[in-house]
Amino acid sequence: MSAAFVVSVIAGGVCCIFLVWLLRGLANFIPTRYHPAENPEDDHIQILVVGDVGRSPRMQYHALSVAKHGRNVDINPPSIPTFHVALLVSLIRGSKLVVDWHNYGYTILAQNKWYYKPLVPVYRWYETGFGRYLGNINLAVTDAMARQLKVKPFSVKHPVFTLHDRPAQVFQPILSTTERLAFLSRLAETKAIAKDIVDGAVRLIVSSTSWTPDEDFGLLLDALVSYANSSEPSPILAIITGKGPQKEHYLERIKALQEEGKLPGIRIITAWLSTRDYASLLASADLGISLHKSSSGVDLPMKVVDMFGAGLPVAAYSAFESFSELVKEGYNGCGFETASELADILSRLLGLSGQEELARLKKGAVSEGALRWDQEWDRVVGRVIGLVGDEST
């Protein structure tokens, strides 16, 4: 046996070992086929968030609902390639995908600065094209959205179920005057006038805003100016929560209006509260204000859902298709489209003559908020993905 032959055999063996090692390493980057775990509780459910999970209570609630049923939850970070990556991985692994359409990315992008505008048609093509085939199950936040997903440009190929937003357990009404006074006396923003608020001498309104173009805060300011200069208006404390890019702009405008004497009897302050304090603030207020303008026309503001959970009636911007699925005019709130209409609502509900109507709206808000997220999720999603049996719904 020649030395050359021995060397070639050794070299060939080394090459084979190297190739096996290399292929095994590469295999770690290729998704494996999904096989149900022997113990269902060992299965993992992955939640892909196309957006900021910190600003999406609905997606947080999904994760909590899955975890409450004893499953492991992985939440993937946001990115525009999520759709086609998820589609590819699901095809390779044989996994099932549930897509929650609580709004459309391309309609939100269309509201951004002008230099994003050329990207909108591309984003629309991407979202409608991949979205058509992506979800084995599709969830829509409203019936209007469910109808829209079934026709062009989406024409989704798989079943669509409506999963309405519902409040989390932290949002609860405060029906006791003593409890309301105790909270308002503790909160820094209200403690100086807590008794006046409880007695009705000062009206407390609350609005949560992202300070972005899709929520025209100027509309509320114009309404407050009109209200303040009407006949014998009740004093108002308006607490505005939230953070966003236009906050400083509107703070300067508020300051200017106050210096010009255009907001007599009106005090506007901003606050950043813990979830628990925010929930208690809603429950202690007289009226909630929603300025949400739906970018798609078929989504709904989560903030209104939270207000109803806290038993707070709302005055909400209403010029979009799905509005009536959440706010029932004269039952749990009122709709407006202009600053003048909002000013009229404030004058009507916050004056002495509006006590009966406001009490009726509050009763409707409490009733609307009685159905909670866990119940809605179990009824729709839990049953569809097999975490909840039909006998439980």
Ranges 76-80, 208-212, 241-245, 388-392: which has the least confidence:
76-80
Give CA separation, 150 vs 145, 155, 165, in Å.
9, 5, 20
Q: Which residue has the higher pLDDT, 385 or 225?
A: 225
Predicted TM-score of the model (pTM):
0.81
Residue type, 72: N
The residues pairing with 17 across neighbouring beta strands, listed in sequence order, are none
Band (pLDDT 50/70/90 cuts) for residue 38 is low
Q: Please, where are the H alpha helices in the chain?
A: 3-27, 57-68, 82-93, 105-109, 120-134, 143-149, 177-186, 194-199, 217-228, 247-259, 275-284, 302-309, 339-350, 355-368, 373-377, 383-384
Q: Which two tokens stand for residue 11?
A: 């070299």
CB 319 within 8 A of CB 347: no
Computed over every residue of the chain, the mean pLDDT equals 85
Q: Which of 76-85, 170-179, 196-205, 274-283 has the lowest mean pLDDT?
A: 76-85
Q: Quote the pLDDT of residue 123.
A: 85
Res. 4: pLDDT tops 80: no
Read off the pLDDT of residues 331-360 as tens digits, 9 standing for 90 and up.
999 999 999 999 999 999 999 889 999 999
DSSP codes joined into one string, 185-249: HHSTTTGGGHHHHHHTSSEEEEEE---STTB-HHHHHHHHHHHHTSSSPPPEEEEEE---TTHHH
Q: Could you give the CA distance from residue 181 to residue 191 in angstroms, rounded to a whole number?
A: 9
pLDDT of residue 162 exceeding 90, the answer is yes
Return the percentage of the chain with pLDDT > 70, whole number.
79
Q: What is the DSSP string of 115-133?
A: GGGGGHHHHHHHHHHHHHH
Q: Is 159 helix (H, G, I), strand (E, B) or coil?
A: coil
Mean pLDDT across the stretch 257-263?
96
Q: Which residue has the higher pLDDT, 169 or 3?
A: 169
What pLDDT, in 10s, does the model give residues 300-343? 998 999 999 999 999 999 999 999 999 999 999 999 999 999 99
Are the CB atoms for 51 and 302 separated by under 8 Å?
A: no
The H-or-E segment that residue 98 falls in is strand 98-101
First to last CA, the chain: 78
Task: Write down the residue that tokens 């703070």 correspond to.
Answer: 251
According to DSSP, the residues that pair with 162 across neighbouring strands are: 140
Q: How far apart are CA 313 and CA 316, in angstroms?
A: 10
260 three-class SS? coil
Q: Is the per-residue pLDDT at 125 higher than 50?
A: yes
Neighbours of 161 (CB within 10 A): 14
**Domains parsed from the chain with CATH numbers:** 42-166+374-392 (3.40.50), 177-370 (3.40.50.2000)
Sorted by sequence, the CB contacts under 8 Å of residue 171 that are 6+ apart come out as 279, 282, 283, 306, 309, 310, 369
User: pLDDT higher for 192 or 122?
Assistant: 192
CA dist 239 to 32, 209, 263, 273, Å?
52, 11, 15, 11
Instruction: Map residue 158 onto helix, strand or coil.
Output: coil
